[in-house]
Structure 1
């Protein structure tokens, strides 16, 4: 299926690994021109072919989103797609954290800064550029945990719930002006968050008295009641992001699409 993305200009945050890298690769393969945003580049990102510009940026910096959008306009003449993928544990933070009393006020501030306020600023910067092109698509990467809160990662879950609410409000305001806004809510995805040393798999392994590989292949899918019995692959999320970015999804706005292996059970 032709997603009609050829020549369209996209910004993808958190683009150097995991879901962001998969989204960047997919959009390039569909003919889009991509501004890939991350703190630093990676060999996998540099190896991608196509109209790709890497912008090193720290999204905790309030000035960064405006600079990124300015770079997209300068390099490619405008902006059609914004994928707010950067999120998860802020720099220097390891998740999961257990219990409401564990995160401090500073933990809460940092979590909201990275997972919600950075998106607010990115959208604020992107909307005028999209309106100048007659519309566009914004895809916010949220989490199934926003709709299934638990006494683990409480601050993260609350920030992502806020992101879902923000998305609904944005979709209502800007759909008449041609800008669609949707969320994609992954479940646990096989990314560095889980697999790297000191990541979620290691933390859960220490709690469960097992090893990292067993957590990834067995403990986590069972603990999170994944119907598929496995973690989600980044490409599976990227495919849905690409579809929502496409004009083929012209009547989809304000939606929250779960790509979670059956994690979310509610109707």
Structure 2
């Protein structure tokens, strides 16, 4: 299926690895001009994108990224706000409301919400000049699944999901579609790295990292598929949502979670 993305200009944040890298690669393969924003270059030497080295915790970073897209390709048609998760230097999961202090809460919202807000603020005027565009914000099932784990992260992602609805109402009539993709647990560096989520959970469960990834986590999260989600499965959903083929889809939340959320 032709997604009609050839020649369109896409900005993807958090594009160095995991979901962001899969999204950047997929959009590039579909013919889009991709501007990849991340602190480090994408871990893919063959990937044909324009990388902008930025720390999105810097309030000025989003403007620099959008300005680079305008300089290189004349504008922005697509924005994928993927950057998020644990702020630099933070290890998740962490248990309990009392665990994160004020500084932890501020960092979590700065990285997961305010960086996204600033990136949208920078991109929207450029999109409007081109007659519209498509924005996808990457949230999380934790925005809708209350838990004593990662309370601050869940709250920040709930705000991301709510923001997407508001943006779609304001800018949909002006040609900018805004949708949300909410992944469940995705097999990324967050889980697999040394000291990552799998090792933290292994310490809690008296298990080992490989068993957590293959069995403990899927069972704990009641994943119908019995496995963690692959980054490409998120990227495929994002690519469809930013495509003109989804021209009547706005204000929607697409959950890609292996069957984690059971509620109606």
TM-score range for the pair, normalised by the shorter chain length: over 0.9
Question: Does the 8 Å CA contact 2:240/2:246 hold for their aligned counterparts?
Answer: yes
Where does residue 207 of structure 1 map in the other structure? Answer: 204
Separation in 1, partners of 2:106, 2:181: 24
User: What secondary structure sits across from 1:71 in the alignment?
Assistant: helix
Question: Does the 8 Å CA contact 2:21/2:42 hold for their aligned counterparts?
Answer: no
The Cα offsets for residues 33-89 of structure 1, whole Å up to 9 and x where unpaired, read as: 000011011441x3213xx20000000000000111000000001100000000000
User: What secondary structure sits across from 1:130 in the alignment?
Assistant: helix
Where does residue 17 of structure 2 map in the other structure? Answer: 17
* Paired residues for 1:82-121 under 5 Å: 82-121=79-118
Q: For residue 240 of structure 1, report the CA deviation from its aligned partner.
A: 0.2
Q: CA RMSD in A?
A: 0.6
Q: For residue 227 of structure 1, report the CA deviation from its aligned partner.
A: 0.4
Where does residue 7 of structure 1 map in the other structure? Answer: 7
The Cα offsets for residues 140-171 of structure 1, whole Å up to 9 and x where unpaired, read as: 00000100111110000000000011000000
Question: Does the 8 Å CA contact 2:17/2:43 hold for their aligned counterparts?
Answer: no
Separation in 2, partners of 1:235, 1:97: 27
User: What secondary structure sits across from 1:10 in the alignment?
Assistant: strand
Separation in 1, partners of 2:81, 2:229: 19
Normalised by the size of structure 2, how large is the TM-score?
0.99
Question: Does the 8 Å CA contact 2:7/2:32 hold for their aligned counterparts?
Answer: yes
Separation in 2, partners of 1:48, 1:162: 32
Where does residue 219 of structure 1 map in the other structure? Answer: 216
Where does residue 41 of structure 2 map in the other structure? Answer: 41
Q: Number of matched residues?
A: 264
Separation in 2, partners of 1:166, 1:21: 24
Q: For residue 120 of structure 1, report the CA deviation from its aligned partner.
A: 0.4
1:67 aligns with 2:67: no
Separation in 1, partners of 2:121, 2:243: 21
- Where structure 2 has 5 or more consecutive residues not aligned to the other structure, the ranges are none
Where does residue 78 of structure 1 map in the other structure? Answer: 75
Question: Does the 8 Å CA contact 2:18/2:189 hold for their aligned counterparts?
Answer: yes
* Paired residues for 1:175-214 under 5 Å: 175-214=172-211
- Where structure 1 has 5 or more consecutive residues not aligned to the other structure, the ranges are none
Separation in 2, partners of 1:64, 1:43: 21
User: Which of 122, 139, 142 matches 1:125?
Assistant: 122
Normalised by the size of structure 1, how large is the TM-score?
0.98
User: Which of 244, 247, 259 matches 2:244?
Assistant: 247
Separation in 2, partners of 1:253, 1:172: 9
The Cα offsets for residues 66-122 of structure 1, whole Å up to 9 and x where unpaired, read as: 111000000001100000000000000000000101000000000000000000000
